[in-house]
Amino acid sequence: MSVLETRELIIDVPGRVSGRALSLRIEPGQRWGILGPNGAGKTTLLHTLAGLRAPRSGQVLLDGKPLSQWRRRQVAQRLAVVFQERQDGFPATVLETALIGRHPFLPPWRMETAADLEQARNALRLLDLSHLEPRLVSTLSGGERQRLALATALAQQPALWLADEPTNHLDLHHQVAVMRLLEQQSQQGAGLCLCLHDLNLAARWCDRVLLLYPDGELCHGPADAMLILEALEKLYRQRLMVTEINGTRVFLPG
Amino acid sequence: MPGVDAPARAYPWTALWVLVLAGVLAMALAVAVGSVPLGAADLWAVFTGGGNELQRDLIWSLRAPRALAAFATGGLLALAGALMQVLLRNPLADPYVLGLSGGAAVGALGAMLLGAGAVLVSGSAFAGALLSTLLVFGLARGGGSWTPTRLLLTGVVVAAGWSAVISFLLTMSPAERLPGMLYWLMGDLSHAGAPGWAWLVLVVAVAAMLPLGRPLNVLARGPLQAAALGVAVRPLETSVYVLASLVTAVAVTTAGSVGFVGLIVPHLLRLVLGNDQRLILPASALAGGILLTLADTLARILLAPQQLPVGVITALLGVPVFLFLLYRSR
Amino acid sequence: MVARMGQWTVFMVLIALLPLAAMAAPRCVEDDVGREVCLERPAQRIVALSPGAVELLFSAGAGEQVVGAVSFSDEPPAARKVPRVGSYKRLDLEAILALKPDLVIAWRSGNPAAQIEQLERLGLTVYYSEPVRFEMIGTTLERFSRLAGTEQLGEPVAEQFRAGIDALRQRHGDAKPVTVFYQVWEEPLMTVNDRHLISEAIRLCGGVNVFGGLPALTPRIGREAVLGADPEVIIAGGMGEDNPAWLDPWREFGSLTAVRRDNLFFVPPSTLQRPTPRMLEGTRRLCKHLEQARARR
User: Cα dist. A110→A114, B146, B201 in Å?
Assistant: 12, 31, 24
Do the domain assignments include residue B193?
Answer: yes
Q: How far apart (Å, rounded) are the C-alpha atoms in residues C180 and C208?
A: 6
Contacts for C90 with CB less than 8 Å, ≥ 6 apart:
B171, C112
* Same-domain check for residues C129 and C200: no
Task: Decide: A168 and A84 in contact? Cβ < 8 Å.
Answer: yes
Asked if B225's CB is within 8 angstroms of A83's CB, the reply is yes
What tens digit of pLDDT does each residue of A85-110 get?
877 667 788 999 999 999 999 988 78
Contact A91 B217 (CB under 8 A): no
Q: Binning pLDDT at 50, 70 and 90, where does residue B40 land?
A: confident
Residues C289, C190 share a domain = yes
Are residue A167 and residue A241 in the same domain, yes or no? Answer: yes
Asked if C99 and C141 sit in the same domain, the reply is yes
Q: What does the pLDDT read at residue C5?
A: 53
Asked whether residue C163 is assigned to any structural domain, the reply reads no
For residue C184, the chain B residues in CB contact (below 8 A) are 176
pLDDT tens digits for range B70-89? 999 999 999 999 998 888 88
Q: Which of A124, A139, A157 is the last residue of a domain?
A: A157
Sheet holding C207-209, edge to edge: C207-209, C178-183, C233-236, C264-266
The answer to whether residue C60 sits within a structural domain is yes
Evaluate whether residue B2 is within a structural domain: no
Query: How many percent of chain A have pLDDT more than 70?
Result: 99
Same domain (yes/no): C134, C256: no
Strand order in the sheet with C103-107: C66-69, C46-48, C103-107, C126-129
Assign residue B41 the CATH number of its domain. 1.10.3470.10
Is residue A234 domain-resident?
yes
Q: What is the pLDDT of residue C16?
A: 53
Query: Domain check: are C44 and C136 in the same one?
Result: yes
Q: Are C32 and C131 in contact (CB under 8 A)?
A: yes
Q: What is the mean pLDDT of residues A38-47?
A: 92
Please check whether residues A177 and A225 belong to one and the same domain. Answer: yes
Same domain, A168 and A215: yes
pLDDT at res. C15? 54
Mean pLDDT of B307-324: 84
**Residue A41 domain flag:** yes
- Same domain (yes/no): C108, C193: no
Does residue B9 carry a pLDDT above 50?
no
A108 plus A151 within the same structural domain: yes
pLDDT band (50, 70, 90) for residue A203: very high
> In angstroms, rounded to a whole number, what is the distance separating the alpha carbons of residues C297 and C289?
13
Does one domain contain both A67 and A30? Answer: yes
Share of chain A above pLDDT 90, in %: 76
Average the pLDDT over B231-250 and give the result.
88
pLDDT one digit per residue (tens) for chain C, 297 residues: 445 555 655 555 555 555 544 455 678 899 998 898 999 889 999 999 998 999 999 999 999 999 999 988 888 899 999 999 988 888 898 899 999 999 999 998 888 889 899 999 989 999 999 888 888 999 999 999 999 999 899 999 999 999 999 999 999 888 899 999 999 888 788 999 999 999 999 999 999 999 999 998 889 898 889 999 999 999 998 777 777 888 888 998 988 999 999 999 999 888 888 888 999 999 999 999 999 999 988
Whether C215 is in a domain gets the answer yes
- In the predicted model, what is the mean pLDDT of chain C? 87
Q: Is residue B248 part of a domain?
A: yes
Q: Is C160 on the interface with B (CB under 8 A)?
A: no
In this structure, the number of other CB atoms found within 10 A of the CB of residue C130 comes to 19
CB contact under 8 A, C230 and B118: no
Residues of A in contact with B86 (CB under 8 A): 90
Same domain flag for C183 and C254: yes
Question: What pLDDT shows up at residue B249?
Answer: 86
Question: What pLDDT, on the 0 to 100 scale, is given for residue B76?
Answer: 95
Are 3 or more Cβ–Cβ pairs between B and C shorter than 8 Å? yes
Strands C264-266 and C207-209: unpaired
Residue numbers of the domain that contains B302: 12-329
- Residues A195 and A207 grouped into a single domain: yes
Q: How many of the other CB atoms lie within 10 Å of CB of B131?
A: 16
- Do both C129 and C225 map to the same domain? no
Confidence (pLDDT) at B4: 37
- Name the domain count of chain C: 2
B176 vs B219 pLDDT, higher one:
B219
Range of the domain at C187: 174-295
Tell me the pLDDT band of B177, cut-offs 50, 70 and 90. Answer: confident
> CB of B66 within 8 A of CB of B190?
yes
**3-state helix/strand/coil string of C152-217:** HHHHHHHHHHHHHHHHHHHHHCCCCCEEEEEECECCCCECCCCCCHHHHHHHHCCEEECCCCCCCC
Angle at CA B22, nearest 5°, toward B19 and B25?
A: 155
Looking at residue C6, its pLDDT comes to 56
Q: B6, A75: Cβ pair inside 8 Å?
A: no
Query: Is the pTM higher than 0.80?
Result: yes
Domain end among A138, A157, A176: A157
Chain B residues in contact with C240 (beta carbon < 8 A): 115
Interchain proximity C185–B305, CB inside 8 Å: no
Is A128 inside a domain boundary? yes
Chain C residues in contact with B174 by the CB 8 A cut-off are 71-72
Q: What's the pLDDT at C1? A: 45
Task: Count other C-beta atoms under 10 Å from residue C216's C-beta.
Answer: 16
A229 pLDDT exceeds 50?
yes
Residues B168-189, mean pLDDT to the nearest whole number? 83
Residue A83, domain member (yes or no): no
Lowest mean pLDDT among B62-66, B123-127, B189-193: B189-193
Name the amino acid, one letter, at A34. Answer: I
Name the residue facing B171 among C90, C227, C239 (closest C-beta): C90
Contact B305 C222 (CB under 8 A): yes
- How far are the Cα atoms of A36, A75, C178 from residue A217, in angstroms, in the given order? 11, 29, 98
Amino acid identity, residue A92? A
**Does one domain contain both A122 and A150?**
yes
Contact residues on chain A for B232, CB-CB shorter than 8 A: 71-73
Q: How far is CA C7 from the centre of its chain?
A: 46
Q: Which residues between 145 and 184 in chain A have a beta carbon less than 8 angstroms from any beta carbon of chain B?
A: 156
- C31: domain CATH number is 3.40.50.1980
Q: Which of A157, A174, A203 is the last residue in one of the domains? A: A157
The residue that leads in pLDDT, B191 or C86, is C86
What local confidence, expressed as pLDDT, does residue B60 receive? 86
Which are the contacts of A67, defined by CB distance < 8 A and separation ≥ 6? A51, A59, A60, A61, A75
Q: How many domains does chain A have?
A: 2
In a domain, B5, yes or no: no
Number of domains in chain B: 1
Q: Any CB–CB contact under 8 A between B167 and chain C?
A: no
Statement: residue B5 has pLDDT above 60: no
Separation of alpha carbons A182 and A204, rounded Å: 13
State pLDDT tens for residues A16-27.
888 899 999 999
Containing structural domain, residue A121: 88-157
Which residue type, as a one-letter code, is found at position C191? T
Q: Do A17 and A67 lie in a common domain? A: yes
Q: State which residue of chain A sits closest to B8, comparing Cα positions.
A: A134
* Helix or strand holding residue A144 (H, E): helix A142-155
Do A30 and A92 reside in the same domain of the chain? no
Q: What is the structure's pLDDT at B320? A: 86
Mean pLDDT of B271-293: 91
Indicate whether A56 and A106 sit together in one domain: no
Q: Do A96 and A169 reside in the same domain of the chain?
A: no
Tell me, what's the pLDDT at B197? 85
Q: Report if residue B107 sits inside a domain.
A: yes
In a 13 Å sphere around the CA of B126, the CA atoms on its Cβ side amount to: 14
Task: Write down the pLDDT at residue C259.
Answer: 92
- pLDDT single digits (tens) A162-183: 999 999 999 999 999 999 999 9
**Structure confidence at residue C180 (pLDDT):** 95
Do A145 and A202 lie in one domain? The reply is: no
How far is it, in rounded angstroms, from Cα C168 to Cα C173? Answer: 7
Residues B262-286: what's their mean pLDDT? 89
Beta-strand runs (E) in chain A = 4-10, 22-26, 31-35, 57-62, 65-66, 79-82, 160-164, 191-195, 208-212, 218-222, 240-245, 248-253
Residue B6 lies in a domain: no
In a shared domain, residues C26 and C154: yes
